Amino acid sequence: MKKEDVKMKKLLSILLSIAMVTLLLTGCGKTETTASSGTGGSTPTGEKTDMLLWLPPYATGGEALDQEWWTETLAPWAEENNVNLTIEITPWGNYEEKYLTAFSSGQGPDVGYMYLEMYNDFIDMGALEPLDAYFTEEEISNYLYYDLGNVKGAQYTLPFIVGNARILYFNMDILNEAGVTELPTTWQDLVDVCTQVKEANLEGVIPFAQEWADPAIGALNNLFYPYLWQAGGDIFNENGEVALTENDAAVKAAQFLYDLRYTYEILPDESMSMTGNDIRDQFAAGNVAVASMSANVASIFDEAGINWDFVPSLEDETKATWIAADSLIMNAASENKELAASLMKHITSPAIMEKFHSELSAFPPISKGEKYLDNERFKDLYADDTYLHTLPVAPNSFKVMDSLYKNLQLMMLGDLTPEQAIQQTVDYASSMS
């Protein structure tokens, strides 16, 4: 090899080393003037530490309100801890995909929000930091649902939203005008009530509305899971295996939904193009007789002057409905884990939670020191949790549920039978094992 080539090779090696060092330095220890990547790093004294927080939208007025509210609420904590805190509100429609993309490249938020369907796969990726070392026994004892965060042998999540049950709302003025005197307790009762509303021919009234155009798989919390559980079925068994064909419950629930549209004709075509927000707005406008929605939207109907009532669950084989158990997580790639733990504790403190529940979105308390600020009409619902179901933590759960939702949508459009919708989901799940 020529001497010039040797020199050139050494020069290139030196330049490469410098570039790698520079890259490492720009990925950590950033000051307030740099863009946040979400993993942060220790900074020299006096310089601000960059941190990233991801949360979903909960304000009924849109994501901008969530952004403004959290930015203002967490500003004192950020100032006290010398943190440049970036808050991103991530829409529900592409929630998991955003996390997957970020975590796969070692990025993502220092602190984020996850729902149960996400836990298993991200724990298996090594993306979530175990929290055991960051909380004292005294701190743990103040949380009402701390043990719900213990997943796969470690405390990987901090319960943040527990409640927000899916319930059936009824516009009582519409029902009274249609001659309905009693709220339904069974599937057939629901059919009878909605049929009576349909036959009353009330102008502009939708007898029963469902959100089949919603982009988020969370729509299943209203659309399918309560009926699946009421029929005596489940999504996964205790071994984490798809259980949709272990009995006839899934097909029975799917058939019931199919019949609402095609046999009883009480679920109109409009439902195929409606999101959850559309359902909420139409109910608040007095145009919907019956709809399944989250408990935390009740205040909207009060403000709109709607004379509403509810039933927490219908009954087939049993009573059952969905309830949230969503949590905050710490990114295992974060270089500011102590600060991340401090932020998680601050967000879930009684003062912040009471402010959140009274100003942004109502939920039951998550700690002993927090006041109950949710609708008083739901207090008994949460006190009796015998038929309140959370979703399971299972492998590939998000992918399975996404497949289930898409197949059920095709069923409601008339492209699949109930049997085909369930079987295609099971076949898809089998292809991943």
- Ordered DSSP codes for 72-95: HHHHHHHHHTTEEEEEEE--GGGH
- Which of 237, 239, 235, 259 lies closest to 249 in space, CA to CA? 235
pLDDT at 45: 57
- The one-letter amino acid code at 311 reads V
pLDDT digit string, tens, across residues 243-302? 999 999 999 999 999 999 999 999 999 989 999 999 999 999 999 999 999 999 999 999
Q: Per residue, what are the HEC states of 381-432?
A: HHHCCCCEECCCCCCCHHHHHHHHHHHHHHHHCCCCCHHHHHHHHHHHHHHH
pLDDT in tens, the chain (433 residues): 433 443 334 433 433 343 433 333 333 333 333 333 344 444 445 799 999 999 999 987 677 899 999 999 999 999 999 999 999 999 888 888 999 999 999 999 999 999 988 999 999 999 999 999 999 999 999 999 999 999 999 999 999 999 999 999 999 999 999 999 999 999 999 999 999 999 999 999 999 999 999 999 999 999 999 999 999 999 999 889 999 999 999 999 999 999 999 999 999 999 899 999 999 999 999 999 999 999 999 999 999 999 999 999 999 999 999 999 999 999 999 999 999 999 999 999 999 999 999 999 989 999 999 999 999 999 998 887 789 999 988 999 999 999 999 999 999 999 999 999 999 999 999 998 7
pTM of the model: 0.82
Q: Residue 35 contacts by C-beta under 8 Å, 6 or more apart in sequence?
A: none
Q: What structural domains does the chain harbor?
A: 49-163+324-389 (3.40.190.10), 166-322+396-432 (3.40.190.10)
pLDDT at 295: 94
Provide the sign of the torsion angle of the four alpha carbons 99, 297, 322, 421, taken in this order: negative
Angstrom CA distances, 189 to 146, 186, 250, 418, stand at 38, 5, 20, 22
- Which of 78, 112, 69 lies closest to 356 in space, CA to CA? 69
